[in-house]
């Protein structure tokens, strides 16, 4: 479905310069509704910076960010989140001392809260809690609902982050290295969860070093190098691209592409 749907996230001429150093420059990227785009590149290529610009943590020094046609370049993180943009972070985006269920509930009660009256008590049976329970079931964490989020394994933390994204009901989801620190045995399960999120109609933008995962999941792959976008195309073409190979993939390109197929 590459570039099939109408554009939901458009980035034009996006650049960030800090103290004379160009971190990112001239990024043009259009992501269609329902697409899953992988973002790859060597360390320091600007992948996380791109996510921070799109989610609103940094303000770009040039260029614009459009979310569903609306210019959000100057909008805050909270405004973008309410407009349907959710993200995870490389370092965990969870609240370690809150329970697993409470982590999800924070997002569901924001959407369902209506009037957040000061003394409105969240009961186990209310709509926000019920929805949180559903999302936990989707990612397979029901049995850990009352555990502190900080006590979960790496793989379970990633699953919980995804449950939080589901609870935010974001139409565009940014995943920053979802497989980082995840035990090998848990990778396949997490890949299925990401595939299910994408299949439910959500647009996914994913930074990931795990090449098998990117090539297996992505409709298109964007390659960043030294703060510039080398290419963004279907995985097969990206793997065959000579500039990409020399810049990033080097001689291992053939083997990783083979194992992904």
Partner 1 sequence: MSTLILLLATGLGLGGLYFLVASGLSLIYGLMGVLNFAHGSFLTLGAFVGLAAGNLVGAGTWGGLLLGLVVGALTGAAAATATELGLIRPLYDRHIEQVLVTVGLSLATVALFEGIWGPNPRNVTRPGWLASTTDVLGARVPNTAFLNVLAGAVVLGGIVAFLRYTRYGLIIRAGVENRAMVTALGIDVRRAFTLVFAVGGAAAGLGGVLATQSLNYVSPHMGASLLIFAFIVTVIGGMGSLTGAAVASVVVAVLQQLANFYLNNTGDLIVVLLLALVLLVRPSGLLGRPA
Asked if 70 and 252 count as a contact pair (C-beta separation under 8 A), the reply is no
Answer yes or no whether residue 122 interacts with partner 1 by CB under 8 A: yes
Q: Which residue's structure tokens are 């299925």? A: 192
Task: Please identify which residue in 52, 60, 67, 102 interacts with partner 1, judged by CB under 8 A.
Answer: 102
**Cα–Cα distance, 99 to 191 (Å, whole number):** 24
Q: Among positive and negative, which fits the CA dihedral 83, 201, 174, 149?
A: positive
Helix (H) or strand (E) holding 140: none
Burial grade of 255 (CB within 10 A; 0-12, 13-18, 19 or more): exposed
Q: Which stretch binds partner 1 (CB under 8 A): 118-126, 138-146, 239-247, 249-257?
A: 118-126
Residue window 128-167: x/- pattern of binding to partner 1, with contact defined by CB under 8 A = ------------------------------------x---
When the beta carbons of 36 and 165 are compared against partner 1, the nearer one is: 165
Contact pattern for partner 1 over residues 41 through 70, marking x by CB under 8 A: --------------x-x-------------
- Binding region for partner 1 (CB under 8 A) out of 16-24, 26-34, 85-93, 177-185: 85-93
What token pair was written down for 159?
Answer: 């699953």
74 forms part of the interface with partner 1 (CB under 8 A): no
Among 109, 138, 171, 203, binds partner 1 (CB under 8 A): 109
Q: Which of 3, 75, 106, 260 binds partner 1 (CB under 8 A)?
A: 106
CA distances to 48, 70, 177, 258 from 44, rounded to whole Å, are 9, 29, 14, 26
For residue 99, give every residue at least 6 positions away whose Cβ sits within 8 Å of its Cβ, in sequence order, or none. Answer: 145, 146, 147, 148, 149
Site map 199..238 versus partner 1, x via CB under 8 A: ----------------------------------------
Residue identified by tokens 């992501």 is 31
Which residues contact partner 1 by CB under 8 A?
A: 55, 57, 76-78, 81-82, 87, 89, 93-98, 102, 105-107, 109-110, 113, 116-122, 164, 168
């Amino acid at each position: 479905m590459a570039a099939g749907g109408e554009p939901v996230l458009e980035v034009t001429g996006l650049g960030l310069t800090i103290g004379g150093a160009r971190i990112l420059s001239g990024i043009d990227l259009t992501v269609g509704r329902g697409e899953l785009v992988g973002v790859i590149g060597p360390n320091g290529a600007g992948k996380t910076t791109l996510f921070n610009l799109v989610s609103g943590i940094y303000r770009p020094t040039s260029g614009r960010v459009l979310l569903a046609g609306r210019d959000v370049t100057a909008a805050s993180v909270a405004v973008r989140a309410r407009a349907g943009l959710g993200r995870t972070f490389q370092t965990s985006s969870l609240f370690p001392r809150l329970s697993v269920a409470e982590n999800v509930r924070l997002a569901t009660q924001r959407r369902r809260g209506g009037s957040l009256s000061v003394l409105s008590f969240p009961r186990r049976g209310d709509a926000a809690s019920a929805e949180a329970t559903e999302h936990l079931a989707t990612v397979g964490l029901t049995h850990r609902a009352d555990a502190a989020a900080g006590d979960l394994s790496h793989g379970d933390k990633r699953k919980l982050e995804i449950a939080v994204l589901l609870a935010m009901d974001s139409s565009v989801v940014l995943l920053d290295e979802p497989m980082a620190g995840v035990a090998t045995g848990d990778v396949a399960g997490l890949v299925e969860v990401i595939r299910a999120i994408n299949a439910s109609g959500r647009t996914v933008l994913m930074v990931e070093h795990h090449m098998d995962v990117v090539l297996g999941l992505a409709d298109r792959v964007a390659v960043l190098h030294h703060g510039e976008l080398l290419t963004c195309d279907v995985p097969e073409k990206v793997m065959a691209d000579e500039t990409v190979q020399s810049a990033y993939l080097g001689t291992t390109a053939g083997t990783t592409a083979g194992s992904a197929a």
